[in-house]
Chains A and B, each alone.
Chain A
Amino acid sequence: MDFLPVYIYFIALSFLVSIYKLKKNSQFYLKIFSPFLFLTLCVEAYANYLSSINKSNIVIYNFFSAFEFCFYLFLISFIIQVRKIKNLARYAAGIYGLLAVLNILFVQGVNTFHTTTYAAGCLIIASFCVRYFYEIFRIPGAGKLENNPAFWICAGLLFFYCCGFPLWGLMNIWSKWIVIELETFSGINYLLNSFLYLLFTIAYLCSRTRNSISLSS
């Protein structure tokens, strides 16, 4: 029996921690994040199963990564405080989803990884995360930043997509000059994913319920 890639264990860990730490009065984005982690775990496990029986999983990754971008944009819209940016993130999620599906179905094709819309998605997510960091530095809150789950989530997303942009988004360009083994490529991808889900786990571990935040501040 083949072992699953290490980052899948990190997804499982973050999902279990999210279940354990989720309270009735937790923020809304944390509540919707937990089922999303479960969905990610299922999709990743199924994609790995397909890979293990030598079947292509590109279709799954194409649609799921497009959905991921839309979900993260929707999530960020709950984290950001400025109403205009919130609305912008929601519109961006809708428009991005539509364009990504069109690209997958009619431009790059379902059996090719949607590098163009993936690169665009990386840049959009990174921009909104940068906007979040700008916001927290402009008006720092009363509590500790390390107790704010949004900080860990946005730090993870910013890091993952900043590194993922050249890796996945520009893959078609750099693969012409650099020859790299598929295992090495997957290894780096696993590392990035592991870091991402580790930060999501920390987000839940460090989070405090809203009552305890207001009491401490």
Chain B
Amino acid sequence: MQQNQELYFIVIIGILLGLLLVSFIIGTLILYRRRQQKQDQEMARVKDMYEKEVLHSQLEIQENAFRSISQELHDNIGQLLSVVKLSLSTLPLEKDHKAAPLVSHSQKVLNKAIIDLSNITKSLYTDRITDLGLAESISYELLAVKNTGMYETEFTVTGDEFRLPEKTEIFLFRMFQEMLNNIIKHSAATHIMVSLTYHPDGIFVMSVEDNGKGFDVEQVRSSLSSGKGVGLKSMFNRAKLMGAELKVVSNFNKGTRLEVKFISNL
């Protein structure tokens, strides 16, 4: 009887100790996993912040580089071309001189170069974008494309236009330039439609559509090749950085539509 009682006592103590041990181990493992998840989230947040910071710096450097190039083109190359143009126009040549047609042709080519240079300077110059506004800058850029005679362009602005933050306008314009560049380089499109929609509640939507050959968006986005999809990735990065949403819909032989949605704190 006494022995049985002792045995029960040991068994009960054993079960209690076992339960205590198991609950300690399980509790520790659960707490550890939670702590680990929390740390992973924190790491992801820091990494995201770091990436944004790096991207921000890269874009700032890019904008500064654009500004310097634009300044240099305008002040240096532009001036030199103007001097050459002036010199050519003051050449004492008779109409029937055998060099006259050649000089006339050179003047035409020079004029074209000066106009092209001026366009490049304007599109690179950041301050001009903020001075003119996004809609005006886009319309100017589209006109230049239309003037090549290779594309039909359509530009619509819906709603009461409001100004977006300076940096956002620059980012949106650079995204638009990238979209336009992609259409010209890859799409084989003939028609480009651009629309800007200003909603009264501060929502701004920019969409760029073409009737080109289209592409596989996911394949390009996930491409590991260093050269492939850089423009698209850069657009997504810019959108992420300014807190905008970028949607890309593309159908083979039916065209591509890119839409940027940004909510402004009016």
Contacts and interface: CB of A to CB of B under 8 A. Distances in A.
Partners in one complex: yes
B6 A146 contact: no
A187 interface: yes
B21 A191 contact: no
Contacts of B39: 140
A140 B17 contact: no
A191 B29 contact: no
A17 interface: no
Interface string B1-24: 001001101100110011011001
Contacts of B17: 163, 188, 191-192, 195
Contacts of B3: 183
B4 to A, nearest CB: 12
Contacts of A155: 21, 24-25, 28
Q: Which of B13, B18, B21, B36 has the most CB of A within 10 A?
A: B21
B32 interface: yes
Contact of A159 (B9, B21, B29, B35): B21
A137 B6 contact: no
Interface residue SS majority, chain B? helix
Interface string A43-82: 0000000000000000000000000000000000000000
A133 B9 contact: no
Interface residue SS majority, chain A? helix
B119 to A, nearest CB: 53
Contacts of B21: 155, 159, 195, 199
A104 to B, nearest CB: 28
Contacts of A141: 36
A141 B40 CA distance: 10
B31 interface: yes
A175 interface: no
A140 B10 contact: no
Contacts of A163: 17
Nearest to A192: B17
A5 to B, nearest CB: 13
A102 B241 CA distance: 69
A186 B32 CA distance: 35
A180 B113 CA distance: 106
Nearest to B15: A191
14 contacts: A133-B28, A137-B35, A145-B32, A155-B25, A155-B28, A159-B21, A159-B24, A184-B6, A188-B10, A188-B13, A191-B10, A191-B13, A195-B17, A195-B21
Interface of B: 3, 6-7, 9-10, 13-14, 17-18, 20-21, 24-25, 28-29, 31-33, 35-36, 39
